[in-house]
Structure 1
């Protein structure tokens, strides 16, 4: 299995290092954080191929980290003689007898461990051409990859092949299904793993016999009779129609899998995606097998996603699985302890959560844990009505802009879940999180004290209504605005404070929506303003 990856100058990553879990790795991150790049780099290290083709055939200037390229160009234009950028991907393997031949210290960490390396560097054979190329630095715009070479090496410095690496990989991109190549690959896997040698011979003979009988069909005999009598301006030879029965047109390319008698390529993408993922997980090989899955939630309904995730969790035994996802359902079911949060600057695991919190989120799969993980700034509220009011409070102080438009996520966590979410927030010091909670008739300082362990982290603040006589958000809004204003906002005409308060408590969501949509000037309670300021 893989134990670690170290990357230098490849795509999103300038310098990157990440340890792997031996079983499950769930990669999450914002757009362009490098989730797909990690899967791509793993596949490159194990196969030497990029998108199914040898890397040297698809070498592009845009595979290099753009900051490294910009610095190289700047150095050239300032007259400094610097070597051109290189790409290095180091994959570290577990120390097993099978990987012993790959051991060495030819890696970025200079560690004496087994592993393989992809190195893209200037080819010494083109040194003269390269020097001529950089004589006019003002004309240099991109890396001259035509002067580069790709080395696929073990950590001992020797070249490797597929056979010398005791690990194989299957990359399944659920969003990009190439029907025919996918069918061929997986059909071949089924055949190789299930059919005996004599069964393959029988199948080949049967398939050829069927093709040979094609020409004996009455309609084909008639057509060929007509063709024989046709003059041919191209050749003097006799023209007929038949099926190629040569070895190159074997049954592997003519037989395709069917699901309920429907050819695979005509099955829905969700079913195709599920089938490919499960076939990859079912793959039985003598060496370690790595399964790389791109966003399994694509093309799947929620019930079918649930079935797939359950099967993935059962079938990943003895295999190492890497999954990228934006789905809290996938994350919660497969385990927060397996989460790897990625950014261009690095990656780290959230495996330090209390066990009770991990179990809590596994059971409550509908909770948007990834919203908190991915958002740089969040406001946690107790319910849907609170969410609407907070959004209105933000809009009032930001020229009508919604929080989401400025990258702030207002998340309804249903009150009692605050501490569960804050367990996650404590491990994300770069993410600012503000909590808005009711005092429920208690002093604000006592409520805040319940969260003292969390607010010790600089990125977490807790905001509570100060007057214990106004227990929830609705009375707090009433206190800040009065009966006349709230009647106008809600379109009501209550004559007593108590009647209006009772109405607001009984119709929380309707009142919150009216507040959110109102053109009336509304005074927000101070603790809500403070929470908005804390993340702004």
Structure 2
């Protein structure tokens, strides 16, 4: 069994969105795209298995900012009309429906055993095609009219009140089965859990209340057999008996036995150390993890994070008495290459032999995770929408899959990117960008390694079509291929955030030499004849070596070469 879909309405950055999931899913997206909020949303209908406390009540800041502000401004502008309707007991049901509510709906499919059926059975909800099982979390006003009256009173006090006065204390939450609307009790919810290994892991094994100690304590307490627990209790008793036998213990009460104090012998003999029989979990909290010959807290941040990831993932994955969604945020954080590769391979092998009672969701900014853990498992969070790679043209997905070292994330998420064929164009354009002192450049120049750009533009457009906040420039060689030029130019004709420019001559070197006084400057620099054919041939002879040398001179402002027209147009457009 696994969660196949999560619908979120009015929660943090999500207005209304459906998120499809696989048994294993990789979620990628820019900062603030909602990756962490997605995990927090899942904790609302599911039982949180984290080591901290997770409330299901929300704050006003948990509402989507656009939704709650839109309601608030409309309410303020129409306050007098609303007050009149309330005073006259008129119907305000339409207004009550507009009060902000948060909904998180989770759909399960494919239970594979009788036990899994038993977990989901009361949530069965026929969709006309297959059996699905669905639960719904809703944060709602207990009595909408009370919320309306409260807002009117607060605006009477202060017309300029902001959304911070919104009375979420007049709200409540409920978790129901969508097939009958009945509330789901906590016992049923305890069978479906979410466990998140967060990206902020710096406190692991640091400080007085080390998370590593609590994790190990909980793991031991839950996994030890009753026989082992009994042995530990006996050892705990033996520990106190050994203290009583120590001479130092007896000396602690020697003052009571001194001459002159009568009738105390019998009293002193009755003094014993009796264990207070604390919970075993409290005993285990005194255990500190070591690594090698050192305490774990003495090791570096990267080593501590690596062990936390391995221990927690193993701990959550091994729990087979309930269904468990395991979320891992940015596993690459703080890890060196070796530790990252080890963890990535460990996670990949776990996903391949995955239990039907576990579902893995990983968020990342690292292209290696995307490429290694199968592209058809990738979801992209961007611009209030989801791009599901399993629904993308297989030709495009296979194209990327055949290029495991290609930085897919750089292509998709760079706000201003220029694609070029090879390193010579890349070096030249970066050098030209470095001379522009009026701006701090965020332009990424990326050499794709061959002549075809159409596939890359197709992939980029899946995420960025119609998005005026991002730009892609394409700089290509003519290579005596007029049809290829026309095909590439069509992308610019159909998309206002793409610009395609092609050399006038055969390649970059032809156009560079033909631009203004560049031929004379280059002939002087290389001490060769001032002849376009000779200079062009010289540049092409050792393309990368010559362009590296020229780029260094351009960056140092030692060589005043002019950009060829096709490069100049793209650079000026993309930084504008």
- Report the TM range for the smaller structure's normalisation: 0.7 to 0.9
What is the SS of the residue equivalent to 1:32?
Answer: coil
Whether 1:465 and 2:466 are equivalent positions in the alignment is: no
Q: Which of 306, 315, 319 is the matching residue for 2:341?
A: 306
Give the whole-Å Cα distance in 2 for the aligned partners of 1:402 and 1:138: 43
Whether 1:150 and 2:173 are equivalent positions in the alignment is: yes
Question: 1:273-331 deviations in whole A, cap 9, x for unaligned?
Answer: 33235314632314432110110000101222111111111102133211111111111
Q: Which of 324, 329, 335 is the matching residue for 1:289?
A: 324
Give the whole-Å Cα distance in 1 for the aligned partners of 2:146 and 2:429: 62
What is the SS of the residue equivalent to 1:118?
Answer: strand
What is the SS of the residue equivalent to 1:101?
Answer: helix
**Contact 1:382 1:412 (8 Å CA) reproduced:** yes
Residue 200 (structure 2) aligns with: 175
Q: Which is greater in Rg? A: 2
Q: How does 1:4-15 map to 2 (within 5 A)?
A: 4-15=5-16
**Contact 1:293 1:322 (8 Å CA) reproduced:** yes
Q: How does 1:303-342 map to 2 (within 5 A)?
A: 303-316=338-351, 317-318=354-355, 319-342=358-381
Residue 213 (structure 1) aligns with: 242
Residues 246/135 of structure 1: CA separation in 2 closer, same or farther (3 Å cut)? farther
Residues 196/261 of structure 1: CA separation in 2 closer, same or farther (3 Å cut)? farther
Residues 308/54 of structure 1: CA separation in 2 closer, same or farther (3 Å cut)? closer
Q: How does 1:115-130 map to 2 (within 5 A)?
A: 115-124=134-143, 127=146, 130=150
Residue 46 (structure 2) aligns with: 46
Give the whole-Å Cα distance in 1 for the aligned partners of 2:451 and 2:248: 76
Residue 161 (structure 2) aligns with: 140
RMSD over aligned CA atoms reads 3.8
Question: 1:117-139 deviations in whole A, cap 9, x for unaligned?
Answer: 22222233992773644544625
Residues 213/79 of structure 1: CA separation in 2 closer, same or farther (3 Å cut)? farther
Q: Which of 197, 202, 214 is the matching residue for 2:226?
A: 197
Give the whole-Å Cα distance in 2 for the aligned partners of 1:523 and 1:339: 43
1:65 shift after superposition: 1.4
Residue 254 (structure 1) aligns with: 286
Residues 485/186 of structure 1: CA separation in 2 closer, same or farther (3 Å cut)? same
Give the whole-Å Cα distance in 1 for the aligned partners of 2:305 and 2:30: 24
1:48 shift after superposition: 6.4
Q: Which of 199, 202, 215 is the matching residue for 1:185?
A: 215
Whether 1:102 and 2:131 are equivalent positions in the alignment is: no
Residues 290/380 of structure 1: CA separation in 2 closer, same or farther (3 Å cut)? same
Q: Which of 475, 478, 495 is the matching residue for 1:436?
A: 475
TM-score, structure 1 normalization: 0.82
My pick for the range that moved more, 506-515 or 41-50, is 41-50
5+ long unaligned stretches in structure 2:
83-94, 112-116, 205-209, 259-266
What is the SS of the residue equivalent to 1:254?
Answer: coil
**Contact 1:211 1:243 (8 Å CA) reproduced:** yes
Give the whole-Å Cα distance in 2 for the aligned partners of 1:372 and 1:437: 17
TM-score, structure 2 normalization: 0.76
**Contact 2:135 2:176 (8 Å CA) reproduced:** yes
Give the whole-Å Cα distance in 2 for the aligned partners of 1:51 and 1:137: 42
Give the whole-Å Cα distance in 1 for the aligned partners of 2:257 and 2:35: 61
**Contact 2:201 2:305 (8 Å CA) reproduced:** no
Residues 452/206 of structure 1: CA separation in 2 closer, same or farther (3 Å cut)? farther
What is the SS of the residue equivalent to 2:563?
Answer: coil
Give the whole-Å Cα distance in 2 for the aligned partners of 1:219 and 1:360: 76
My pick for the range that moved more, 442-451 or 354-363, is 354-363
Residue 233 (structure 1) aligns with: none
Residues 54/30 of structure 1: CA separation in 2 closer, same or farther (3 Å cut)? closer
**Contact 1:350 1:427 (8 Å CA) reproduced:** no
What is the SS of the residue equivalent to 2:390?
Answer: coil
